[in-house]
A and B are shown apart, each in its own frame.
Chain A
Amino acid sequence: EAGVTQFPSHSVIEKGQTVTLRCDPISGHDNLYWYRRVMGKEIKFLLHFVKESKQDESGMPNNRFLAERTGGTYSTLKVQPAELEDSGVYFCASSQEWAGNNEQFFGPGTRLTVL
């Protein structure tokens, strides 16, 4: 069974540019989560999809971030325009049931550097 995959693995962009991150969850997993880890600090929750619906987007920092999950399969996270403080590692995770009492499977992350 393939794990969670993310693309790209690294992205270096300039302030003001746009970047789109992609996450492919494990097949059949309805729950998809986005997280961010900035400068070795804690892993911060961004949002949670159940199929194509946003269950919880309370962690999205501002309206420069837009997440979609059309068709309930893969998800994209767009940052537009990117700011310096957006640099960090963006993780995606998926789970079949809500991960609160189950394991969530993380992808390898996308390291975003905004210059």
Chain B
Amino acid sequence: GQSLEQPSEVTAVEGAIVQINCTYQTSGFYGLSWYQQHDGGAPTFLSYNALDGLEETGRFSSFLSRSDSYGYLLLQELQMKDSASYFCAVSRYGQNFVFGPGTRLSVLP
């Protein structure tokens, strides 16, 4: 079967750094994406990794290790507005996406 695992909840304070892990077990792998969803809102794309290593986009970075079937999203200089759910998603060539269960991030003042 296809499965992705993420922590269900993470709590951190403003200004801190938080890492949200994602492990996957899927048939076929093309890339790992991350999406952010605020309550009641639409998921929005944050980043994509197809190759091993770190991709940096402003305060957010995403890492992938294909050999370990593992990735993470790193959020730096946390702000209150970063409180949201974060989903990792595996894309598989010729097949479609499998999303993780989501991690609810709460940023405290």
Contact = CB atoms under 8 A, between A and B. Distances in A.
Whether chain B is bound by chain A comes out as yes
Interface of A: 3-4, 33, 35, 40-45, 48, 56, 58-59, 91, 93, 99-109
Given A101-B30, A101-B48, A48 B96 contact: yes
A30 to B, nearest CB: 15
A99 B99 CA distance: 13
Interface secondary structure of B, over-half rule: loop
A33 B7 CA distance: 26
Interface in B66-99: 87, 89, 91-93, 95-99
Interface of B: 4, 30-31, 35, 41-45, 48, 50, 87, 89, 91-93, 95-102
A41 B101 contact: yes
Given A43-B43, A100-B91, A101-B30, 15 more contacts: A35-B99, A42-B100, A42-B102, A43-B89, A43-B99, A45-B97, A48-B96, A91-B43, A99-B91, A99-B97, A101-B48, A102-B48, A103-B45, A105-B45, A107-B42
Contacts of A91: 42-43
B43 A100 contact: no
A103 B48 CA distance: 8
Nearest to B45: A103
B42 A45 contact: no
A97 to B, nearest CB: 12
Contacts of B50: 101
A73 B86 CA distance: 29
Contacts of A35: 99
Contacts of B30: 100-101
A43 B96 contact: no
A26 to B, nearest CB: 12
Given A91-B42, A91-B43, A106-B43, A100 B92 contact: yes
Contact of A42 (B45, B48, B91, B101): B101
B45 A100 contact: no
27 contacts: A3-B42, A33-B97, A35-B99, A40-B102, A41-B101, A42-B99, A42-B101, A43-B43, A43-B89, A45-B96, A45-B99, A56-B95, A59-B96, A91-B42, A93-B43, A100-B30, A100-B92, A100-B97, A101-B30, A102-B48, A103-B48, A104-B45, A105-B45, A106-B42, A106-B43, A106-B44, A107-B42
